[in-house]
C-alpha cells in the first residue's frame, strides 16, 4: 500500500535567479578601476612617444662655418661659397638668413640650389653670410655618441645611461646582500619580539622622503667617504655616495618581498631538512632560499627598477653635469637627475631641450618595462608549487 505524504501549504519558493544590484555595482566599480589604471599607462606612453617623436624629427640648424662668397639675388640658382667650414652634400637643406634651400649639386665652390622651400621667399643675400645646415637627431647618434649637451647639438645618451647604471649597480651591491640577510633572519631566526621591533624600523625607512635621503647622502655619506678614502679621491658630488644611499632606500623593498617569498615555503621542507640532520643555517641556505628563488629574483628585479627610477637622491648628491666616467667617486648625472635639472629651468615649449626630456623619459620607461617583463618570466620559470 503506497503512503502519500502531504506537502504543507504555504508560499512557493522562488528558484529563479534574482538580480544582485550591489554585487553588480561592486564588479563594475572594480572594472572601472582596472580600466583607469590601463588608460593611465596608455596615456603616459602616448605622451612620451609623441614628444619623443618630435625630438627625433625636429629640424635643427647648425652653423657650417661656410660663408657665402658672392652676393645672391632672388633669381640666382647657383651660389658661390667659401672653401672653409663643414662640407655640404647634395640633398642637404641649408638656410641663408631666413630662406631655406636645397642643395641640388656641387661643383667645387659652385652649388646649384633650389630656392624658397618650406614657405620661405627667395631674397637677396649679401656675401659673407654664414650658411646653416639642417640636422636631425638620429637613433645612431642618440645611442652611440658620448656627449650629451642639447644646447649645442650633442645628443649622445651614453653618459646619462652610464651614470644611471653605475648608481643602480652600487645600490644593488648594498641592498641585495643586506636585504636578503635581513629577510633570512626575520623568516628563520628572529623571535616574535625581535620581529615586532625590526619590521616597524624597516617600514620607517620605507616611509622617509627621498629628498631626505638625498641630503643624507650629501651631508653624511659623502663626508664619510672623503674621510676614509681621502678628499683628493672622492669629489663632493659623486655617484658612489648616491648609490650607497639608494641601496639603503630600497633595502626595505628587497627585505619585505624576500621575506614574503621565504615565508611562502612550506614548513614541511624545513622539518624534513631538520629530520635529516641539517642545521638551521644549512636549512635556510640550501633548502628555503632555493625553494623561494623565484620570489627573491622578482624582488631583486623590482628593486633594480626602483633604483633606476630614483630621482631626488641622484639629483642632490650625484652631480649636475653629464660625464662618461666609470669612477664612482666622481660626479656624473643620471637620466632622472638630468630631467629634474633641466626641467626646472626656463625651457620653451616644443624646443629641442624640452623634447629631449621626453626622449630620456621614454628610454627610462622602456628599461623599466623590460625589467618587469624579465621579472615575470623569472617568476614563471622558477616558480615551485607544493601540494
169: which 3 cell numbers? 649597480
Euclidean distance between CA atoms 109 and 85, whole angstroms = 12
Q: Can you tell me the distance from the alpha carbon of 57 to that of 136, in angstroms, rounded to the nearest whole number?
A: 6
The CA–CA distances, whole Å, from 120 to 95, 100, 124, 201 equal 10, 6, 13, 67
**What is the pLDDT tens value at each position of the chain, 387 positions in all?**
555 555 555 555 556 667 777 888 899 999 999 999 999 989 988 988 888 888 888 777 777 788 888 888 888 888 888 888 877 888 888 888 888 888 888 888 888 888 888 888 888 888 888 888 887 888 888 888 888 887 777 888 999 999 999 999 999 999 999 999 999 998 888 888 888 888 888 888 888 889 999 999 999 999 999 999 988 898 999 999 999 999 999 999 999 889 988 988 888 888 888 888 888 888 888 888 888 888 888 888 889 988 988 888 999 998 878 888 899 999 899 999 888 888 776 666 767 778 888 899 999 999 888 888 887 887 777 666 555
Cell numbers linked to 362 = 621614454
H/E element holding 102? strand 99-107
Grid cell listed for 259: 621575506
Q: What is the pTM of this model?
A: 0.80
Alpha-carbon gap, residue 373 to 279, rounded angstroms: 37
Q: What are the structural domains of the chain?
A: 60-135 (2.40.30), 152-382 (1.10.3720.10)
Number of other residues whose CB lies within 10 A of the CB of residue 260: 15
Quote the CA–CA distance of 217 and 210 in Å, as a whole number: 11
What backbone torsions phi and psi does residue 31 show, to the nearest 5 degrees?
Answer: -65, -40
Amino acid at each position: 500500500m503506497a503512503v502519500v505524504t502531504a506537502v504543507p501549504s504555504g508560499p512557493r519558493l522562488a528558484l529563479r535567479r534574482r538580480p544582485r544590484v550591489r554585487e553588480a555595482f561592486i564588479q563594475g566599480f572594480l572594472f572601472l578601476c582596472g580600466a583607469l589604471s590601463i588608460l593611465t599607462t596608455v596615456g603616459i606612453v602616448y605622451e612620451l612617444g609623441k614628444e619623443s617623436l618630435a625630438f627625433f624629427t625636429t629640424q635643427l640648424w647648425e652653423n657650417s662655418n661656410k660663408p657665402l662668397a658672392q652676393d645672391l639675388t632672388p633669381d640666382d640658382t647657383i651660389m658661390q661659397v667659401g672653401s672653409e667650414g663643414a662640407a655640404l652634400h647634395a640633398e642637404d637643406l641649408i638656410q641663408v638668413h631666413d630662406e631655406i634651400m636645397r642643395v641640388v649639386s656641387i661643383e667645387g665652390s659652385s652649388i646649384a640650389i633650389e630656392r624658397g622651400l618650406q614657405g620661405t621667399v627667395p631674397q637677396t643675400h649679401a656675401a659673407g653670410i654664414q650658411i646653416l645646415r639642417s640636422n636631425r637627431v638620429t637613433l645612431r647618434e642618440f645611442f652611440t655618441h658620448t656627449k650629451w649637451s642639447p644646447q649645442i647639438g650633442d645628443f649622445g645618451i651614453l653618459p646619462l645611461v652610464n651614470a644611471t647604471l653605475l648608481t643602480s649597480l652600487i645600490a644593488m651591491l648594498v641592498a641585495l646582500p643586506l636585504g636578503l640577510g635581513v629577510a633570512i633572519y626575520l623568516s628563520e631566526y628572529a623571535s616574535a619580539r625581535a620581529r615586532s621591533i625590526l619590521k616597524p624600523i624597516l617600514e620607517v625607512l620605507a616611509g622617509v622622503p627621498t629628498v631626505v635621503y638625498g641630503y643624507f647622502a650629501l651631508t653624511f655619506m659623502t663626508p664619510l667617504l672623503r674621510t676614509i678614502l681621502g678628499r683628493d679621491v672622492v669629489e663632493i658630488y659623486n655617484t658612489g655616495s648616491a648609490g650607497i644611499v639608494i641601496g639603503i632606500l630600497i633595502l626595505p623593498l628587497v627585505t619585505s618581498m624576500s621575506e614574503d617569498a621565504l615565508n611562502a615555503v612550506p614548513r614541511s621542507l624545513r622539518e624534513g631538512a631538520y629530520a635529516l640532520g641539517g642545521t638551521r643555517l644549512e636549512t635556510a641556505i640550501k633548502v628555503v632560499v632555493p625553494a623561494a628563488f623565484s620570489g627573491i629574483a622578482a624582488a631583486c628585479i623590482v628593486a633594480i627598477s626602483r633604483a633606476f627610477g630614483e630621482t631626488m637622491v641622484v639629483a642632490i648628491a650625484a652631480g649636475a653635469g653629464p660625464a662618461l666616467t666609470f669612477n664612482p667617486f666622481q660626479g656624473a648625472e643620471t637620466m632622472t637627475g638630468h630631467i629634474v635639472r633641466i626641467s626646472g629651468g626656463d625651457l620653451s615649449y616644443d624646443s629641442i631641450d624640452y623634447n629631449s626630456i621626453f626622449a630620456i623619459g621614454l628610454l627610462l620607461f622602456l628599461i623599466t618595462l623590460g625589467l618587469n617583463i624579465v621579472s615575470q618570466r623569472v617568476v614563471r620559470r622558477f616558480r615551485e608549487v607544493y601540494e
